[in-house]
Every structure is written in C-alpha cells, then in structure tokens.
C-alpha cells in the first residue's frame, strides 16, 4: 500500500512559544518513506530529536505571532494483518523491563480504575484471546462522534460516555489492555478514510513478544496505517505540544491511497 500524505498547520500564538512538533512518518521496517519534506516558517533554528522508544522524531520550533508548518510525504507500507486471537499469553515475569511502563496507568489511560470491570467481564481470558475481546468490545461499545470530547477527556470518561473520536477509542483500549496486564501504547498515525480527515490515533498491544498494531475504530486496516510515533497516551503522541497557548486558525490533513 502506498499513501500520499499532506498535513498543513496554522496556529496563532498570543505570546512567543516553544513548540514540539511530531508529524513526520517514522522510518521503520514495515513502512518505507519514499519522499518526505517538513517546512516550518520560523526565524528560529529548528532541531529534530529522536522520538520515544527510538521511533520517529520530534522537531523543536519556536513560534511568534503565528506558527505555520507543512508536511508532505509518500510512504510504502508492507504490513501483513495479524490475527490477535491466536497469539499466546505472556506471564508478567517474561515481559521485558523496557515494556513494563506500558502496563502502568497514565494520565489519559487510568487502567488502575478499570481493573474491576475487566476482571468481572473478561475474567477467564488472557493473551491474544483477551486482546481480541477487548478490541471487539471497544469497537462495539463506542459510537464514533466528533465534537463530544475535549483535550482533557480520559479513558474513564469515554468508558462512561460511550462515544468519541479515534483518540478516545485508543485511550480506552489501551487502558483496558493494561488493566488486563497486556502492555499497550498509543500510536500517532496517518490513515486514509478518517472522517473527518485528521491525524489518526491507533494502538499497539504487546503480545507474544512483539507490538501488534490495531485500530479500535475499525477505520483503517494494518497496511493503511503510517506510524508517526508511540507513547503512553495522547500526551506523548500529540502532533503539536505548545509550551504556552496556541489558537487554531486552519489545519488540513489529507491521506490518499496511491495504489
């Protein structure tokens, strides 16, 4: 699968501010960057640093008055689908130290508050069967609806409201998986057919020794997802983190399947 990706950001800044941008597709074994350019209008030097877990990169910029950035890329994705349900269960003691942080609760994925629900509802399951059950449950229990969640909305909020956008689906699945002692992380991505078009958020579950990519919204298949970065929750995978205030002016994300 080949994707053409375009992302344009335009924000107003009431005061000068440092900005951490994370919009570039990560070069990885299962997704190859054919072409890529990131343009940031700024009088200040831009610096790229490696992303979390050594995946992808973030760029530091400084904005004054207005912040405008443009990203263009063509990516070839070669990622077979994975059948979660057959993957083996891993006892906690066999989970590598570097993966353990993804079993812990985080700000938007309060897995410690969802353990009771997971145990009472999915008590007999483990490993891939548990993961598949949680993925199916999340997809079924939620209604996709834009405009009902805010920046501060958490997995627990979504567990109650039963609606939200990709970010909310991702947070809830990640929280449920961690509550089931399955390491889980959030993934920023580009994917076609996201409605309304925007940056996409999906999930990786650590099962049988590797991270497995899934989209709890069901919008994208594994070979349509171009990963940008990974992290514990929306905090880590935000496309833009402003140290100060920024106001939306205009934003456009377009992802087109080339073949």
Site residues, its own copies (CB under 8 A): 14, 18, 20, 45-47, 49-52, 57-58, 60, 92-98, 100-101, 103-107, 110, 113-117, 119-120, 141, 143, 145, 147-148, 150-153, 156-157, 159-163, 181, 231, 235-236, 241, 243-245, 247
Q: Which is nearer to its own copies, 84 or 155 (CB)?
A: 155
Are 208 and 201 spatial neighbours (Cβ–Cβ below 8 Å)?
A: no
Cα of 115 vs its chain's centroid, Å: 22
Q: Which is nearer to its own copies, 58 or 167 (CB)?
A: 58
Q: Which is nearer to its own copies, 26 or 191 (CB)?
A: 26
Q: Which is nearer to its own copies, 50 or 86 (CB)?
A: 50
Q: Which is nearer to its own copies, 75 or 176 (CB)?
A: 176
Are 40 and 46 spatial neighbours (Cβ–Cβ below 8 Å)?
A: yes
Strands 184-190 and 240-243: unpaired
Smallest distance from the beta carbon of 1 to its own copies, in angstroms?
29
Smallest distance from the beta carbon of 168 to its own copies, in angstroms?
11
Q: Give strand pairing partners of 19.
A: 61, 242
Calpha distance 179→92 (Å, rounded): 13
Calpha distance 36→24 (Å, rounded): 8
DSSP string across 63-129? EBSEEEEEEEEEEEE------GGGPPP--GGGS-TTTGGGGS-BTTB-GGGTHHHHHHHHTT--HHH
Smallest distance from the beta carbon of 34 to its own copies, in angstroms?
24
Smallest distance from the beta carbon of 165 to its own copies, in angstroms?
13
Are 170 and 201 spatial neighbours (Cβ–Cβ below 8 Å)?
A: yes
Q: Which is nearer to its own copies, 88 or 257 (CB)?
A: 88
Are 91 and 54 spatial neighbours (Cβ–Cβ below 8 Å)?
A: no
Smallest distance from the beta carbon of 89 to its own copies, in angstroms?
12
Smallest distance from the beta carbon of 101 to its own copies, in angstroms?
6
């Amino acid at each position: 699968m080949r994707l053409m990706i375009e992302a344009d950001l335009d924000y107003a800044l009431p005061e000068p501010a440092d900005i951490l941008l994370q919009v570039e597709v990560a070069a990885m074994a299962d997704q190859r960057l054919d072409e890529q350019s990131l343009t940031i209008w700024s009088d200040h030097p831009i610096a790229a640093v490696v992303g979390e877990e050594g995946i992808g990169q973030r760029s530091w910029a400084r904005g004054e008055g207005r912040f405008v950035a443009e990203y263009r890329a063509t990516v070839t994705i070669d990622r077979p689908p994975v059948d979660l349900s057959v993957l083996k269960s891993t006892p906690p003691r066999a989970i590598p130290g570097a993966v353990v942080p993804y079993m812990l609760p985080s700000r938007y994925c309060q897995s410690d508050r969802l353990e009771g629900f997971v145990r009472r509802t999915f008590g007999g399951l483990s490993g891939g069967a548990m993961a598949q059950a949680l993925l199916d449950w999340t997809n079924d229990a939620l209604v996709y609806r834009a405009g009902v969640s805010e920046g501060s909305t958490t997995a627990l909020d979504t567990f109650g409201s039963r609606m939200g956008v990709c970010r909310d689906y991702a947070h809830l699945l990640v929280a449920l998986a961690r509550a089931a002692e399955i390491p889980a992380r959030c993934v920023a991505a580009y994917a076609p057919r996201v409605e309304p078009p925007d940056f996409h958020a999906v999930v990786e579950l650590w099962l049988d020794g590797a991270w497995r990519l899934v989209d709890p919204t069901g919008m994208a298949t594994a070979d349509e997802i171009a990963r940008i970065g990974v992290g514990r929750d929306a905090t880590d995978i935000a496309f833009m983190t402003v140290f100060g205030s920024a106001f939306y002016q205009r934003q456009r994300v377009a992802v087109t399947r080339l073949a």
